[in-house]
Structure 1
Amino acid sequence: MDSSPAHAGCVDVDKVHRSIDQALTFRSSPLRRQQLEELGAALRQHKDALLPRAQEHVDNMWRGSLEWYQSRSTLDRVVSSGGYLLGSAALGDITHVMQLARDCRWLLELHARAERAAGHDYA
């Protein structure tokens, strides 16, 4: 396993950041359905890779705290909504991919906190 910052905890952090950046700027370029589908698939893969560490981190929080409640609620939403595939509505698909990107950004932040708490100063 590569122990560089770009591969913290088996997650290619740089690749996740690139996908997030691409998704959040997608509306500034002409719509290409294939690119949108590929980006959606990449973001779902990133989400799946980031979820275990994020879930572990939230599970280790003090239950009953505001931070735990907010994190648990967001995590539950991310888990339940992230698996949807793209449909036929272009604007809805762009919105969905952008939400996947925001979810991945949040998961990446949680992943970084979990890594720091475990003694790995990766992110």
Structure 2
Amino acid sequence: MTADHAELAPASGQGKDTGRARMATVAEADNALPVDAETISETVRKALRSGAGPIALDTMTTLAETLRGHIALLLIEAREATSQLGGGTLEAHRAVARLDSIEQQFRRPLASRPLSAHVQVHQLARDCQWLLARYTAEARS
């Protein structure tokens, strides 16, 4: 794992949402192929549609881990792109603040209660969606 990826390694989790599983996800991102926007988009859609019926903690755990894997990959790309903006601009400051917020959410262990886990998964999905939009915009320019 590179130094960039080591700082994304979240703190250990509770219950079924383990730090070891998240570390494996980050390690997978380290060896990942280029960003697959379609797969990420499908995961985001699935996460945002979750909870229409009974909320299963196992499903939330699986979605959270998948989203964290996508976020680990996209966050590194976003940090690299943001470093090119120049530190003194408002755009750079906003981007760094948003990326810090995403990383903080990424590091939080998944809640042990289904409804709380559901809210957390939705936040991870929105963060992933934002990162993907930023990544695809960068790729086009």
Interval of TM-score (by shorter of Structure 1 and Structure 2): 0.7 to 0.9
SS of 1:75's equivalent in the other structure is helix
Quick one: which amino acid aligns to residue 87 of structure 1? A
Quote how far apart the aligned CAs of 1:112 are: 1.4
Asked if residue 92 in structure 1 is aligned to residue 125 in structure 2, the reply is no
1:1-123 matched pairs, under 5 angstroms? 10-117=34-141
Quick one: which amino acid aligns to residue 60 of structure 1? Q
Quote how far apart the aligned CAs of 1:11 are: 1.0
Q: Deviations over 1:31-63 (max 9, x none)?
A: 122111110100000001111110111111132
C-alpha distance in 2, partners of 1:33/1:93? 7
Aligned residue pairs total 109
- Structure 2: where are the runs of 5+ without partners? 1-32
Q: Partner of 2:4 in structure 1? A: none
C-alpha distance in 2, partners of 1:30/1:15? 25
- TM-score normalised by L of structure 2: 0.71
4+ aligned runs moved over 6 Å, structure 1: none
- TM-score normalised by L of structure 1: 0.80
- Structure 1: where are the runs of 5+ without partners? 1-8, 118-123
Quote how far apart the aligned CAs of 1:90 are: 1.7
C-alpha distance in 1, partners of 2:123/2:111? 15
- State which drifts further: 61-70 or 97-106: 61-70
Quote how far apart the aligned CAs of 1:79 are: 1.3
Contact 1:46 1:104 survives alignment (8 Å) = yes
